[in-house]
Amino acid sequence: MTGHSPTPKTPRLRLGSGTAHMLVASFTSAAAAFLFLVIVGRALGPTDFAPITVLWTVQYLVTSTVYVPMEQLTVRRLSRDRPEATPWALYLWVTAASALGALAFGIVTLDRFFAGDAGFLFVLVPLIIGYAGFAIGRGYLAGQRRFKEYAYAISAESVCRLCAAGALVAAGFGAMGLSTTMAAAPFVVWLWRPLRGRRHAEAAQKPEQRATATLGAFVSATAASQTILAAGPLVVGALGGGAAEVSVLGQTLVLLRAPLAVSSNLISRVMPPLTRFVETAQWPRLRRLGIWAGIGGLAASGAGFGAGYLAGPGLVALLMGPEYRPGALLAALVAAGTVVATVALFVQQILVAMHSTGHLAVAWLCGLAAAAAVVIGAGGLSASLRVGWAFLAGEALAFVLLVGIVAQAARPRSTDAAPET
């Protein structure tokens, strides 16, 4: 007797186990990072706080540009039915190049950004190396669906840094001593032994042959996106802005980027189900997700502009101190750009799951070109406003392109093959 084969179930975007832990941990991490900057910023003042702002910006740029792609590709790889082995040699080369690049930056800008104190170089290098391990560890925890441990790790990184900084501020330490807490924080991820649960299937597979090209395209995309997002204080300094103007923009970005900071810790949670959609060829569903995100993002950005204009300066002054109060227009530009960047972060995960990192790079490089054109063409404005307008223009163009690429690439098709780079 023969029977009908059961109809395969259509996968759904169910986040499930560990999601609540990750959500709470993301808020905890963002709040602790915010309090760290508030406490240290108030203790040091705008001028002495400038080296901390630059260290924070460099670490953020390297992590977001280089290490987040390593984390996301690790999560995607481990979420597949037959994961390839980790390309450790590639990751080591990337980490070494990042550390050397940061060191070179520190040497060249030692007088301008670090008050000529070479001691900050001994913080900068372990800071960059430590966050490489933090990203890989997080990738393994999320890829193996150890989401609760992932949540504990990201909470501990920020909370430990905050507690150590509070103790050092109470003891009267200056910028140099406080910066060491930033370098030590990422190493806490190893307390959860992220490599402990490596899958046996991974050991039986060879590393993906296209790993270098895939990572290279992803890094190009994130380099462009994070330059738009986080390089503002460095650009203000390069345009001739003083240390106080650098600190004001830096603190404004940190505070008004809070939704993005929270969301960035959640993207590893959505990657496994999105990867499953790709492996089961759920193209119409992926396309709908992208289009609805585009509509919602554009609507929310307008609300963000208005809220930033009305409440942004007062909020920054209240929480960061009156000396860090930005102008209303600058706060509005940062708020609107942050809303767009937050929604774009999730839209681009669809392309990562589809292995379309080449398309991702095209969108963000176009956005970066638009931002650069605004910085160059808006010479009559202050350095901060030039950066603010460039931030919003670059984020908006890249976002529109991302939604359009997802809508085109995820059209219903007869083949089950995912788009490739």
Cα-flanking dihedrals φ and ψ of residue 204, to 5°? Answer: -85, -10
d(CA 367, CA 360): 11
Domain extents in the chain: 17-209, 210-421
DSSP notation for 175-209: HHHHHHHHHHGGGGGGGG-TTTT--HHHHTSPPPT
Q: Is the dihedral of CA 110, 115, 117, 121 positive or negative?
A: negative
Give ∠ CA 18-343-215 in degrees, rounded to 5: 75
Per-residue pLDDT of the chain (421 residues; tens, 9 = 90+): 444 444 444 555 455 557 788 888 888 988 898 899 888 888 888 788 888 988 988 898 888 889 988 998 888 888 776 667 778 888 999 999 999 999 999 999 888 888 888 889 999 999 999 999 999 999 999 888 888 899 999 999 999 999 999 999 998 888 898 989 999 999 999 999 888 866 544 545 555 557 788 888 888 898 888 788 878 888 888 887 777 788 888 888 877 777 777 777 777 788 888 888 887 778 888 888 888 888 988 899 899 999 989 998 898 888 878 888 888 999 999 999 999 998 998 888 888 888 788 888 999 999 999 999 999 888 778 888 999 999 999 999 999 999 988 888 766 554 444 454 4
What pLDDT is attached to residue 200? 45
Pick from 122, 115, 113, 126: which is nearest to 54 by CA?
Answer: 113
* Contacts (Cβ under 8 Å, ≥6 apart) of 97: none
Q: Are 222 and 341 in contact (CB under 8 A)?
A: no
d(CA 139, CA 146): 10
What pLDDT is attached to residue 26? 83
Pick from 28, 21, 38, 16: which is nearest to 252 by CA?
Answer: 38
d(CA 394, CA 375): 11
Burial class of residue 3 (count of CB atoms within 10 Å of its CB; 0-12, 13-18, 19+): exposed
d(CA 394, CA 380): 19
Q: Are 266 and 22 in contact (CB under 8 A)?
A: yes
DSSP notation for 113-181: HSTT-GGGHHHHHHHHHHHHHHHHHHHHHHHTT-HHHHHHHHHHHHHHHHHHHHHHHHTT--HHHHHHH
Q: Are 195 and 91 in contact (CB under 8 A)?
A: no
Q: Which residues of 128-155 are buried (b: 16+ CB within 10 A; e: fewer)?
A: bbbbbbbbbbbbbbbbbbbbbbbbbbbb
What DSSP character marks residue 65? I
pTM of the model: 0.74
d(CA 53, CA 77): 34
Pick from 246, 132, 250, 130: which is nearest to 181 by CA?
Answer: 130
Both tokens assigned to 249: 């923009």
Distances in Å between the alpha carbon of 323 and those of 32, 248, 313, 334?
Answer: 21, 8, 11, 18
